[in-house]
């Protein structure tokens, strides 16, 4: 699973990144909140682990910005901090934080918190999949195959399958949509579905190459 890791301190960022990698995940690193927000918008990781006290944009501000995104599927957000006062804790929860990690991060506690996060995003993924399938069916039956909401939902559904490493399921889904688009003569959707299929194949190959590296680490 892709995890966005954010910290302005290079040493802390390296330690947390290695810990996430040892748990079998793919860390994506950012050294401040602004960079992290751009990475989130591009990659849509399922889990975000961010330091609280950073210049430019703090971890709490990053959380608020991410929660303001109009996504069906929001990430699980963990704040890493030395702050422990009641008001600080409440401020984080009000911003939309799901959990906290105390600095310095303990590897066993991180592993336990990550298991909770994985269960949470897995449950959310099931709900999101059902919601997106409903959007797809509505768009196809009511508003037509070229509606932007349909294309966005098709892409989002395939992303959910890929995040679950269900590459065969993603391919089967995209091929069904490709066949529908070809039958309706929708050249724009045909092109997008072919590109999505190529992306799924490329990501499956990349995942297969990365797995032995994780095992050796």
- Taking only the tens place, the pLDDT of each residue in 205-216 is 776 665 444 333
Whether residue 3 contacts residue 28, with contact meaning beta carbons closer than 8 Å, is answered with yes
For tokens 């449950």, what's the residue?
123
Residue 212 has a pLDDT of: 44
Q: Which of 128, 140, 136 is nearest to 152 (CA)?
A: 136
Spatial separation of the C-alpha atoms in residues 51 and 62, rounded to whole Å? 10
Q: Mean per-residue pLDDT for 92-107?
A: 87
Query: Domains (ranges, CATH) in the chain?
Result: 2-119 (3.40.50.2300), 144-216 (no CATH)
pLDDT in tens, 48-75: 999 999 988 999 999 999 988 755 567 8
Spatial separation of the C-alpha atoms in residues 31 and 142, rounded to whole Å? 45
How many CB atoms are closer than 10 A to CB 217?
9
Instruction: Find residue 101's DSSP bridge partners.
Output: 80
pLDDT in tens, 123-149: 555 445 555 555 555 555 544 445 555
- 192 Cβ partners below 8 Å, 6+ apart? 151, 154, 155
Spatial separation of the C-alpha atoms in residues 147 and 128, rounded to whole Å? 20
Determine if the pTM surpasses 0.85. no
Instruction: Find residue 79's DSSP bridge partners.
Output: 50, 100
What values do phi and psi take at 96, rounded to 5?
A: 115, 10
């Amino acid at each position: 699973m892709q995890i966005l890791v954010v910290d302005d301190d290079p040493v802390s960022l390296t330690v947390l990144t290695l810990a996430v990698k040892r748990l079998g995940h793919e860390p994506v690193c950012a050294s401040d909140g602004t960079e992290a927000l751009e990475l989130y918008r591009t990659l849509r990781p399922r889990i975000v682990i961010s330091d609280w006290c950073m210049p430019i944009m703090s971890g709490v501000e990053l959380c608020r910005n991410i929660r303001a995104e109009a996504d069906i599927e929001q990430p699980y957000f963990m704040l890493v901090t030395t702050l422990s006062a009641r008001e600080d804790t409440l401020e984080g929860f009000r911003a939309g934080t799901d959990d906290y990690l105390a600095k310095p991060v303990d590897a066993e506690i991180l592993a336990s918190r990550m298991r909770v996060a994985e269960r949470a995003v897995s449950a959310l993924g099931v709900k999101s999949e059902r919601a997106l399938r409903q959007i797809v069916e509505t768009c196809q039956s009511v508003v037509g195959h070229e509606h932007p909401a349909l294309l966005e939902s098709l892409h989002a559904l395939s992303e959910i399958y890929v995040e679950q490493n269900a590459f065969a399921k993603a391919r089967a889904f995209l091929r069904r949509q490709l066949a529908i688009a070809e039958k309706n003569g929708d050249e724009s959707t045909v092109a997008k579905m072919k590109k999505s299929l190529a992306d799924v194949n490329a990501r499956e190959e990349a995942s297969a190459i990365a797995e032995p590296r994780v095992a050796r680490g």
